[in-house]
Amino acid sequence: GYSYLDAGLLSTFVERWHGETGTFHMPSGEMTITLDDVSCLLHIPVDGSMLHHILPTGKDEGVRWMVEMLGSTEREALDEVKKTKGAHCRFVYLRRLIERHIKTTKQAENDKDEENFEKYQEYIVRAYMMLLVGTTIFSNKAKNYVDLKFLPYFPSCKYVAGYMTMLQAWVYDHFQNIGTLSSKYSQELPRCCKYLPPKGQSDQGAMRIMMDRLLPHDIIWMPYDDHRSVRPFETCSIYSGWIRCGPAKVPYLSERVLRQFGHVQEIPRHPNTRLDHLATLDQISDHWTLLVGHILTPELLGREVAYASEASRDYMEWYVRHSHPHIIRIPNEAYLSGGAFQSMEVHRLRGVLSVVRDKNYKVR
């Protein structure tokens, strides 16, 4: 993992995550971290059985984990499991805990107390990861807490850094001029090693503006062409359906990010067409294991792109009607239709195209 994580950069992408589709909603369409990304960035297998928790987590065990792994007091931990009526931890508590631990690490740094500094840094990272898991990856809008059963998956910050390194390296590989290339990288290494660890934090406001101004051709849709001799493309990457971690399930809908597989992006099916919300966890595991009927057919993949960012002419008009591609709203001025947007992309006209929440396009 990188020595330092860029919280400003990561937060800019987390706020664009939509749990209903399992994708980041960018100005020019949806993107996600695909199984192919995982394979290339980390050089780990992406097939095999889905993770499931053998035993439920009890309140007593949850309290112990909070004290040992989050740095909570026993009284706080007992209060959390009481308020959530189970082995859970509220998001509001995690945010307060992070703020408190940050103050402690600053004091430890001033006192040159290396042991406490490292210990509380680990608490902060685990708490942040629990927030990330509960609010994005395995989010449930009906809940204001995260299950404590995820805590044991972050036993050491060096493993946590690896997970966060993947997201950060994914950004570097798909968006130009953000990451710094390492002169020591070779194709035999995991793709995340291609970039040097950041030495500072990105300004989230500035990153938000930059992302809002992206044009389709500013994105590197298929960054791994030169890496295929090391990590060949695996068919399971175009799986479409639920993936699960224990009792939690999240959508993985590859038809919504066809450009990341080299195909023209068409208007995708409604998520519920592919996602059976009544499917049991065992059924989800079976669908993944068998794959038959759950990977994209040639008809669903469609034709290959003529240029990397190619989408059907009606895609952007549909996308803006159904999404919020931009975080920052701009005033009403000059607007373009979705067809004009595609024309601009094809001819690489200069200027900045922004999509706003009221379903229009503006050139500045």
> CA-CA distance, 149 to 144, in Å (whole number)?
16
pLDDT of 258 strictly over 90: yes
pLDDT at 355: 32
The number of distinct structural domains making up the chain is 1
Tell me: the pLDDT tens digits for 298-331?
999 999 999 999 999 999 999 999 998 888 865 5
Q: What is the mean pLDDT of residues 284-291?
A: 90
- In this structure, what are the phi and psi dihedrals at residue 235, rounded to the nearest 5 degrees? -60, -30
In a domain, 34, yes or no: yes
Extract the runs of DSSP E, i.e. beta strands, from 87-153. Answer: 88-90, 145-147
In a domain, 279, yes or no: no
In a domain, 123, yes or no: yes
In a domain, 195, yes or no: yes
Query: Could you tell me what percent of the chain has a pLDDT over 90?
Result: 57
> CA-CA distance, 319 to 317, in Å (whole number)?
5
pLDDT of 55 strictly over 80: no
pLDDT of 212 strictly over 80: yes
pLDDT at 2: 57
Tell me: the pLDDT tens digits for 93-107?
999 999 999 999 999
pLDDT of 75 strictly over 60: yes
Query: Could you tell me what percent of the chain has a pLDDT over 70?
Result: 83
In a domain, 297, yes or no: no
In a domain, 41, yes or no: yes
pLDDT of 256 strictly over 70: yes
pLDDT of 133 strictly over 70: yes
Query: Of 139 and 182, which is predicted with more confidence?
Result: 182
Q: Residues for the chain: how many in total? A: 364
Among 137-146, 178-187, 226-235, 237-246, the minimum mean pLDDT is found in 137-146
> CA-CA distance, 37 to 252, in Å (whole number)?
13
Query: What range does the domain containing 91 cover?
Result: 7-209
Per DSSP, 355 falls in state E
Q: What is the mean pLDDT of residues 249-255?
A: 94
In a domain, 265, yes or no: no
In a domain, 183, yes or no: yes
Ramachandran assignment for 46, one of left (phi > 0), alpha (psi -120 to 50 degrees), beta (any other): alpha
Query: Of 44 and 247, which is predicted with more confidence?
Result: 44
pLDDT at 53: 58
